[in-house]
Amino acid sequence: MESFVQLRKGTTPRHVHRDLDGLKDDELGRMGFVGRQAQLYRRNDPTKFRAEGALRPSHFKADKLTPTDHTDPRGTPLPLYSNDDVRFLLSRRAEPMPFFVRNVGGDELVFVHRGTGEFETEFGRVPYEPGDWVLLPKGVTYRQVPSDAENTFFIIEAADEFRTPPAGILGRHFPFDPSVVFIPEPEVLTDGGPEWEIRVINRDLQGSIFYGHNPCDVEGWKGDYFPFKVNIRDYNAILSEGVHLPPTVSTLMTASGVVVLNFLPRPAESRPGVERLPWYHRNADYDEVAFFHGGTLLGFPMVPGLITHAPQGLHHGPPEELRELSRAQFGEFDRLEWVTISVDVRRPLTVNPELGGVK
């Protein structure tokens, strides 16, 4: 049972995530980072393990994967990981869709890693650029029209509705000022034809319906269900100078069994002795998927387009060498310049076997 009073046994720092004095700070917790938890102060780096079997970490480089939409305008994104609540897909669409899509498998939250263009939707056009989060709600009809040939999109498809976190103690302008969101204006489109295809997709089920007119024929709309986008530069990062806060303060949106977080540039923790990098942990209740957009960490470039998966129960965290560097160069860096998307999911994920097995 949760308690305001927490036990302390053996040798521990006085304050959590500070003054480790050579110990390795390892968190074991429930419900992601908001349930009961314990810090275990170890002698050794818990990420130094060798794994066998199905439950192993994996990683891929986006530019080494080739979704069929990269080479074929009629192609599709590549599924990466899935469970009953969520699918992760990679798109590298190079040319405009010669069809519309209506995804009834769930909301699509599209992170634009590379490329510009627009989504033509029934609600109007949604232009995009790198760093955009584009939400295409379940059942909305849209067509993607890239402006560039080189594009990378990380797609999170949730069966449940994506919602911004409740205002709570952080108020109405977290995670972003709602008035900066781009919402499309209605526009009647007539190009294309003589027949317009809509691919109706529900996970692995797919069919097409055809119209004799462009389905983006809406003269006006009203309501509270619509596509929109927000850029990561408008995200309001939260920090404390005295302690590295848990990933939940980087929440962007949630759906049932899915928490989408973005770790974005911000001032570094400044109190002497504080650990600036995320502590070691094994997430007891969530698988974790990360997509590296770019940025730097202590001057080292993050690998753009790196996709990682940490199954629940397996330790992960920045390497000890980087932690030691962070302590040694405490006075030389006053910002964390990372740009990483992270998604925690409640049910275990299955890796698409077409990717060649767990790496």
* SS3 track for the chain: CCCCCCCCCCCCCCCCCECCCCCEEEEEECCCCCCCEEEEEECCCCCCCCCCCCCCCEEEEHHHCCCHHHCCCCCCCEEEEECCCEEEEEECCCCCCCCEEEECCCEEEEEEEECCEEEEECCEEEEECCCEEEEECCCCEEEEEECCCCCEEEEEEECCCCECCCCHHHCCCCCCCHHHCECCCCCCCCCCCCCEEEEEEECCEEEEEEECCCCCCCCCCCCCCCCEEEEHHHCCCCCCCCCCCCHHHHEEEEECCEEEEEECCEECCCCCCECCCCCEEEECCCEEEEEEEEEEECCEECCCCEEEEECCCCCECCCHHHHHHHHHCCCCCCEEEEEEEEEEECCCCEECHHHCCCC
Burial class (CB in 10 A: 0-12, 13-18, 19+), 285: middle
Q: Partners of 306 in the beta sheet? A: 61
> Looking at 70-78, 263-271, 282-290, 323-331, which segment touches Fe ion (CB under 5 A)?
282-290
Selected range binding Fe ion among 26-34, 82-90, 224-232, 285-293, rule: CB under 5 A: 285-293
Least distance to Fe ion, CB of residue 239, Å: 18
User: What's the min distance (Å) between Cβ of 311 and Fe ion?
Assistant: 11
Q: Is the separation of the CB atoms in 239 and 270 below 8 Å?
A: no
- Of 120 and 344, nearer to Fe ion (C-beta) is 344
Task: Indicate the residue whose CB is closest to Fe ion.
Answer: 288
Q: What is the nearest approach in angstroms of Fe ion to the Cβ of residue 82?
A: 19
Assess 275 for contact with Fe ion (CB under 5 A): no
Residues 162-221 that bind Fe ion (CB under 5 A): none
Q: Using the rule CB under 5 A, is 288 a contact of Fe ion?
A: yes
* Between 69 and 288, CB nearer to Fe ion: 288
Question: Which residues on adjacent β-strands are paired with residue 290?
Answer: 308, 342
CB of 344 to Fe ion, least distance (A): 7
Closest approach of Cβ 317 to Fe ion, in Å?
7
Residue placing its CB nearer to Fe ion in the complex, 102 or 316: 316
Least separation in angstroms between CB 225 and Fe ion? 32
Closer CB to Fe ion, 118 or 288, in the complex: 288
Q: Which CB, 62 or 310, lies closer to Fe ion?
A: 310
Q: Between residue 232 and residue 261, which ones bind Fe ion under the rule CB under 5 A?
A: none
Taking the complex as a whole, the smallest distance from the CB of residue 25 to Fe ion amounts, in Å, to: 13
Would you say 157 or 288 has its CB closer to Fe ion?
A: 288
Q: How many amino acids of this chain bind Fe ion (CB under 5 A)?
A: 1
Residue 26 found at the interface with Fe ion (CB under 5 A): no
Q: Which stretch binds Fe ion (CB under 5 A): 24-32, 92-100, 252-260, 283-291?
A: 283-291
Query: Could you tell me which stretch among 189-197, 202-210, 287-295, 351-359 binds Fe ion (CB under 5 A)?
Result: 287-295
Rounded to a whole number of angstroms, the minimum distance from the CB of residue 248 to Fe ion is 11
Nearer to Fe ion, 199 or 316 (CB): 316
Q: In what order do the strands lie in the sheet with 86-91?
A: 228-231, 132-136, 107-114, 152-158, 86-91, 78-82, 350-351
CB of 45 to Fe ion, least distance (A): 15
Quick one: which segment of 34-42, 121-129, 284-292, 319-327 binds Fe ion (CB under 5 A)? 284-292
Q: Which is nearer to Fe ion, 91 or 250 (CB)?
A: 250
Contact positions vs Fe ion (CB under 5 A):
288
